[in-house]
Structure 1
Amino acid sequence: MRPPVTVRAVLAAAAAVLLVVLLPARPASAHATLLRTDPAGGATVTAPVTAVALTFNEPVKQQFSTVVVTGADGAPYAEGTPRSVGTTLTQAVRPLPPGAVKVAWRTVSVDGHPIEGQFTFTNAAAAPSSAAAPSSAAAPSAAAVSSSSAAVQPVTEDPGPGRLGWAAAGAVAVLLILAGGVFWRRRATSG
């Protein structure tokens, strides 16, 4: 005897939910990740810095990017807006005073997710002259950095549903299968 259409529909739905829960998920679209900075976080530079460069694992949206460069005196030193070429976001800077320089950045991944972070480096280059002209260079010199490791603040991202979401989906699937089995059994024994 064939089960009624409603029982078959419930069992088919339960099987579909079970397949969705048990089949391996495809990797989610990852957000851009900061790979390195130039100057590197924690580095001490000995030559004048004309720009700060941030390199990501994928391109970022230039129109939504901001890079704030603050000198040891608390004044902003970013010049113009950041420029994105490939996976590198570059911010030109005016001549920096000696001391700690803080770089705070915010941008948007190609998937639309905002990301942000900050790092610091120490400027040990000679103090700029009082009437220094604005710099037009696009990238800092590799010789200006005495350390090549990038110390990057962790980026807070939305972790997504995680294990709790999968556990809840699995529980719903099991309940649907059990309810379908009970319903089917009752129909089979009553008919």
Structure 2
Amino acid sequence: MTGVLASVAALLVVGFSASLAWAHARLLSTGPAGDSTVAEPITAVTLTFNEPVKQSSTTITVTTADGSSYSDGAARVVDSTVTQAVRALPAGAVRVTWRTVSADGDPIQGEFGFTVAPSAAPASATPSPTPSATSSARPVNPAIVTRSPDAAAPKSAGSSVPWLPLGIGVAVVILGAVGFLRWRRRSLSR
């Protein structure tokens, strides 16, 4: 009987530890996307995580190939999205290095890069059209948030079940039933 209880306790510890490991924040997407090329000026770099991260422990560094930093102020966290304002980026390779802390207190970090390739504007004397009165006053940021290459595919609604803890729960029930039946058989045979 004590062997069965020890097995059940061990399974519960393993299941609890595994469920804690799933609690870490994971980077879902970036804007601009990793390994992309942007032609329009960007004003910020964004990172989107699968869960909220801590503001006080979040840093994002945006640098060019020569090592110059273009980060403008501190990163701003709103729920699971982190935004880092940037100064005007020159043409060329840009490296984004980030570090933050998950809601469960575990530090996570990473990096990605993209290329700035300004679009070649034709040298014409024609003035650019002014926005109409009906156009939106909010500027459009061409750095569309897309999936980074190393991000996990989105889970379907049916795949969000934590299979390991569920399997451990089933094993605990089976072991408990076996232990009870053994105990019952022993007590009846006495």
* Range of TM-score over shorter length: 0.5 to 0.7
| Paired position in structure 2 for 1:150 | 148
Q: 2:19 aligns with which of 14, 28, 49?
A: 28
| Paired position in structure 2 for 1:123 | 116
Instruction: Measure, in 1, the Cα distance between the counterparts of 2:150 and 2:8.
Output: 40
Report if the CA contact (8 A) 1:41-1:120 is conserved: yes
One-letter amino acid matched to 2:148:
A
Q: Flag structure 2 segments of 5+ consecutive residues without an equivalent.
A: 121-138, 153-190
One-letter amino acid matched to 1:58:
E
User: Offset of 1:18 from its aligned partner?
Assistant: 1.5
Instruction: Measure, in 1, the Cα distance between the counterparts of 2:94 and 2:87.
Output: 12
Question: How do residues 96-175 of structure 1 correspond to structure 2 at under 5 angstroms?
Answer: 96-125=89-118, 141-145=140-144, 148-152=146-150
Report if the CA contact (8 A) 2:74-2:84 is conserved: yes
Instruction: Measure, in 2, the Cα distance between the counterparts of 1:102 and 1:86.
Output: 24
Instruction: Measure, in 2, the Cα distance between the counterparts of 1:107 and 1:95.
Output: 24
User: Offset of 1:28 from its aligned partner?
Assistant: 1.7
| Paired position in structure 2 for 1:44 | 37
User: In angstroms, what is the RMSD of aligned CA positions?
Assistant: 2.6
User: Offset of 1:141 from its aligned partner?
Assistant: 4.3
Q: TM-score, normalised by structure 1?
A: 0.61
Instruction: Measure, in 2, the Cα distance between the counterparts of 1:52 and 1:32.
Output: 18
Q: Which has the larger radius of gyration?
A: 1
One-letter amino acid matched to 1:90:
T
Q: TM-score, normalised by structure 2?
A: 0.61
Report if the CA contact (8 A) 2:45-2:86 is conserved: yes
Partner of 1:28: helix, strand, or coil?
helix
| Paired position in structure 2 for 1:135 | none
User: Offset of 1:125 from its aligned partner?
Assistant: 2.3
Q: Which moved more, 1:67-76 or 1:57-66?
A: 67-76
Instruction: Measure, in 2, the Cα distance between the counterparts of 1:151 and 1:141.
Output: 24
Identical-residue share of aligned pairs (%):
50
